[in-house]
């Protein structure tokens, strides 16, 4: 089954209000910020779930060396503790499980880490360092189907090339190529998302 026009239109509508990253290495806080902004815009989700750019930069301790991802889900959950949502981080998820998260209305879109050495991006070219190294890139996954993945790639935007900043668009990649970059050299996937707490789901079910 290929992606339908409806899939594409919906993904475009989702990403068009996203904020571009301000520095080329700000992908982690930028993806979390857009993730929470989109979640907070859904019906019945409190606005406060969008905890704001400054708070997100602080909990990532964003610096020139990059963010801290160790325990990020605990720090993010602590920030969301006033609301019936918590952050989840999992290693080793499969692509079908990623699809389940996207389909679950109680979950945000999931952020995944891609290994740049194995990633052939849509819309720009990547050159690893002379030693063959690069940072990992966080993207926000919007749609997964049998053949392709639609996602938001923050590295397509921000800094220089101002003429390319006319609007944020979705990126598309072959599913197998996505999985290869997601697994990376270590053959382990990593995924971060925010979901409704169990108590909240039960309360809603019993209401």
> Which listed residue (79, 113, 172, 195) binds other proteins by CB under 8 A?
113
Q: Which helix (H) or strand (E) holds 38?
A: helix 27-40
Q: What are the residues facing 66 on neighbouring strands?
A: 63
What single DSSP character describes residue 156?
G
> Which listed residue (2, 44, 96, 129) binds other proteins by CB under 8 A?
129
The verdict on 78 binding other proteins (CB under 8 A) reads no
The sheet carrying 171-174 orders its strands as 85-91, 190-196, 111-115, 136-144, 148-152, 171-174
Instruction: Decide whether 69 or 145 has the Cβ nearer to other proteins.
Output: 69
> Which listed residue (8, 53, 118, 135) binds other proteins by CB under 8 A?
135
The verdict on 120 binding other proteins (CB under 8 A) reads no
Q: Using the rule CB under 8 A, give the single segment among 5-13, 46-54, 123-131, 143-151 that binds other proteins.
A: 123-131
Instruction: Decide whether 35 or 45 has the Cβ nearer to other proteins.
Output: 35
| Footprint on residues 45-74 left by other proteins (CB under 8 A) | 61, 63-71, 73-74
Instruction: Decide whether 34 or 191 has the Cβ nearer to other proteins.
Output: 191
| Four-residue CA torsion sign, 104, 106, 108, 110 | negative
Residues 109/142, Cβ–Cβ less than 8 Å: yes
Here the tokens at position 160 are: 């220089």
Q: Which of 18, 51, 47, 40 is nearest to 139 (CA)?
A: 18
The verdict on 25 binding other proteins (CB under 8 A) reads yes
Q: Which of 79, 80, 77 is nearest to 88 (CA)?
A: 77
Taking the complex as a whole, the smallest distance from the CB of residue 121 to other proteins amounts, in Å, to 9
Q: Write out the residues near other proteins by the rule CB under 8 A.
A: 24-25, 61, 63-71, 73-75, 89, 91, 113, 116, 123-131, 133-136, 155-156, 159-162, 164, 185-186
């Amino acid at each position: 089954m290929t992606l339908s026009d409806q899939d594409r239109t919906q993904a475009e509508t989702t990403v068009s209000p996203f904020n571009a990253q301000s520095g080329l290495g700000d992908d982690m806080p930028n993806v979390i910020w857009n993730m929470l902004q989109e979640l907070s815009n859904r019906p019945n989700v409190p606005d406060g779930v969008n905890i704001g750019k400054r708070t997100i930069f602080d909990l990532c301790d964003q610096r020139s060396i990059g963010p801290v991802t160790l325990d990020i889900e605990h720090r993010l959950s602590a920030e969301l503790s006033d609301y019936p949502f918590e952050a989840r981080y999992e290693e080793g998820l499969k692509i079908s499980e990623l699809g389940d998260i996207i389909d679950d209305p109680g979950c945000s879109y999931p952020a995944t880490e891609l290994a740049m050495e194995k990633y052939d991006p849509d819309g720009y070219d990547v050159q690893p360092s002379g030693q063959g190294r690069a940072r990992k890139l966080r993207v926000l996954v919007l749609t997964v189907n049998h053949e392709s993945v639609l996602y938001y790639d923050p590295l397509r935007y921000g800094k220089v090339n101002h003429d390319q900043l006319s609007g944020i668009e979705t990126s598309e990649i072959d599913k197998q190529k996505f999985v290869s970059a997601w697994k990376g050299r270590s053959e382990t996937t990593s995924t971060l998302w925010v979901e409704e707490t169990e108590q909240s789901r039960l309360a809603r079910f019993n209401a």
